[in-house]
Amino acid sequence: MNSILQKIEKLRDELHSHNYNYYVLDKPLISDYDFDIKLKELIGLENQYPQFSDINSPSKRVGGAVIKTFNTTTHDFPMYSLDNSYSKNDLEDWNDRIFKNIGDANLEFLCELKFDGVSINLTYENGKLIKAVTRGDGIQGDDVTDNVKTIKTIPLKLKGSFPKKFQIRGEIIIEKKDFIKMNEIRLKNGLDPYMNPRNTASGSLKLQDSSEVAKRPLKCFLYQIVTSEQSCKTQNDYLKNALDWGFNISKTYKLCNSLLDVMTYVNYWDTKRFDLNYEIDGVVIKVNNINYQKELGFTSKYPRWSIAYKYKTEQIATKLISVSYQVGRTGAVTPVANLEPVLLGGTYIKRASLHNEDQINKLDLHINDYVKVEKGGEIIPKIVGVDKSKRTSEFKKIKFIENCPSCFKVLSRNESESQHYCLNYYECSPQITGRIQHFISRKAMDINGLGNETIDLLHKSGLISNYADLYDLQMHDLLPLERMAEKSINNIFRGLEESKKIPFERVLFALGIRYVGQTVAKKIALAFKSIDNLMTRNFENLILIDEIGDRISESIVDFFSNDENCKIIYRLKELGLQFELEENNGPTNDVLKGNSFVISGVFNEYSRDELKDMIEINGGKVSSSITSKTNYLLGGNNIGPSKLLKVKKLEIPIINKDDFLLMLKSKPL
C-alpha cells in the first residue's frame, strides 16, 4: 500500500508542477497529451484507492461537485473597497494626507493594474487551499471553494517556505480572446452572446456544477497577502514571496519612489491598456511599507494607504426618450433618464440617473436630445453632455414634476437642498417599502428569508405597512401568496426571531432616521444607552455629541416628535427587540473619559478593533493620528517610526497592552 500512495503522491506533485509551468509561467515542459495521460492515471488510482483521497489533488481541477446553495462566510479580514482618483491633483491630495499622518517625505509606492474581474479571497493552511470566498459586501461573501479549485492559475498546493496560515486576494477574469471564442460558440449554437467578460466570470463562479465551471476559461491574478502575522516589511516583498510560492502574479506591477514615478506608470498604461488581453479600469497605488499601512489604517469604507486611479471613461451618444421619477425611503425624488439602448463598456445602457432638478437645468435637457453618456466610476451610467446641434424646435424642455409619481401629493423642496421630497411619509408606497427594506437589510436587522421583492409583495397584499408589522405575520397570512411555501415561510419566522438579538446600535440604524448611518448610530447608542433616553433629548443635548452636527440633530428630533414613529418603536420594544445597550457594549464605567488614544503596532492577543471597542466602551476616544490632544499612544510590536517621533516631540506617554488593562481595572477618574 505504501508503494501505491507514493505513486499517487508522485503523480500529484508532477501534475501540480506542470500546471504551474503551463498556466503561470507559460512554459510547458510536456505535451497536452502526456499531461492528460498522467491525469487519467491519477484519477484511476484515486478511484481504486479512495482511502488516499486528497481534496487538493490535481484531479479536482476537472470539477464534479454539485452545489445547490453557496454558504455565506464572514471574512476574517474585511475586503474594503478602494477610494477613487481621476487626476494627478487627486493623487497629490492623497499623498499629502499620508504625509500628514506618516511624516515620511520619501515614501515608496507599489503600483498595480486594476483588473476588471471578480474579487476573491483565498485561504491557505499548511500550503494547501482550504477556502475560497467571494467579496460579497466586503464583510461576508459566498463560499465557492469547489468552483475555484477548477481554475488552473490558482495553486492547490504551494511550493517553498510559506506561513502556516494566510489569506491572499486576487481577481478572477476571462481574457478577451477566450471571451470572443465563448461567444462564437454560443452564436453557432443559436444562443445570445454573453454581455461582457466580468459578468460572465462572476456568473461562472456561481454555477452549481463545478464540472461546468471547469469548462470556463477562468484565470486569476493574485495581488494582496493578508495575515495577522507580519512576515514581510513591504508590499513588494510579499509579491516576490507569492511568486516563489507558486501564485500567478502579474508582472506588470512596479515599485515607484515618487509621485512622479507613479504618474509615469499611470500614463504608460493609459495607452498600453488597449494592448492587454484582459480588461483593466485603472491602476491601484499602495503605500509599500507594511508598518505604514498599519499606521494609516482604514476609514469605514476604504484603506487610507491605497487608492485607485480610474482612467477616463468611454463616452457614447444616444437619444433621451423620456424621464421617469423614483421615490426613495426618505421621500427623496430622483429623476431617471430613459435612453435608446446603447452598448457602453460591454453593457447595454437603457437608463441613467439625473440626480435632481438642478442637474437637469444645468444640462438644459430636452426630450429627444442626443446626449453623451458615460459610466461614472465605470459603474453607474450618467449623462455628461448634450449635442445641441441636433436639437429642433419640436424638442420639449424637461420640467421637473410637481407631484409625487406614486401618491400624487405635492412635492416639497427646501431652499438649502437640491432634492425634492414627498412628505406623504405614511401613505406613499415606495417610502413605506423602502423603509422596511432598509430595516431588513444585512447591515441593519439582517433578517434571513426576507428580500426586497418579498417586502413589495407583502405590502401590496396589505399585510404590512411598517417594519413592526413584520413581527405580527402568521403562517396563514403567507401561505396563499405567490412563491411562498411552508419551508420558506419558516425561514422568514426564524429570521425574524433571530433579529431580536441584534444589538441596540444596529436597531437604531435600522429605524432609518435620515442622516443616521452605522457610525452615527453607534455613537448615539454609546452616548445615550437606550432608546428611552434618546427619545427625551432635545437638539441642544444631541449637538454636544462628538461629530453629531446640526443636520443630524434636527433629523433625530423630528423623527421622535412624530407620534406614529414612537408608536412603532413601542411595538418593537414589546416584541422584544433590543433598545438598550448591553452592559458589555456600553461604557462599563467612565475610567477612560476625557482621554484620547492612538493605537499603533501589532498586538498578539487583541485586534485593533477589539482594543478600539474596549477604549470606547470605557468612555475614551480613539483617533487615527497623533495631535496635541492625544493623551496616550497604545503601542504593540513594530510601532510606526513617525508615530514614535511625534509622541516624543509632544511628550505623549506610550503604554503597552498590560498598562492599558491596568487602567481599565482602576477606579473612574
Active site residues: 114
Q: DSSP letters of 573-603?
A: HHHT---B--TTTS-S-STTTT-EEEEESB-
State the Cα–Cα distance between residues 131 and 452, nearest whole angstrom: 30
- Cα-flanking dihedrals φ and ψ of residue 303, to 5°? -75, 135
Query: Which grid coordinates belong to 234?
Result: 513591504
The residue among 553, 443, 450 whose CA lies nearest residue 495 is 450
How far apart, in Å, are the Cα atoms of 254 and each of 108, 239, 311, 526, 648?
Answer: 10, 11, 18, 45, 35
State the Cα–Cα distance between residues 246 and 224, nearest whole angstrom: 14
* Amino acid at position 176, single letter: K
- Taking only Cα atoms into account, the Rg of the chain, rounded to an integer number of angstroms, comes to 28
Helix (H, G, I), strand (E, B) or coil at 149: coil
- The owner of cell 433629548 is 537
Can you state the angle between helices 176-188 and 197-205, rounded to 10 degrees? 80
How far apart, in Å, are the Cα atoms of 17 and each of 22, 148, 152, 218?
Answer: 9, 18, 11, 19
The side-by-side arrangement of strands in the sheet containing 128-134 is: 128-134, 118-125, 165-174, 218-226
Strand partners, 575: none
- The owner of cell 437604531 is 508
State the Cα–Cα distance between residues 69 and 44, nearest whole angstrom: 30
- The owner of cell 504618474 is 263
Eight-class DSSP state of 21: I
The residue among 629, 581, 636 whose CA lies nearest residue 605 is 636
State the Cα–Cα distance between residues 483 and 451, nearest whole angstrom: 13
How far apart, in Å, are the Cα atoms of 297 and each of 80, 198, 210, 301, 554?
Answer: 11, 30, 38, 11, 32
Determine how β-strand 306-310 pairs with β-strand 84-85. Answer: parallel
CB 169 within 8 A of CB 224: yes
**List of long-range contacts for 528-533, beta carbons under 8 Å, 24+ apart:** 529/580, 529/581, 529/586, 530/504, 530/579, 530/580, 530/581, 531/504, 531/569, 531/573, 531/579, 531/580, 532/579
CB 60 within 8 A of CB 210: no
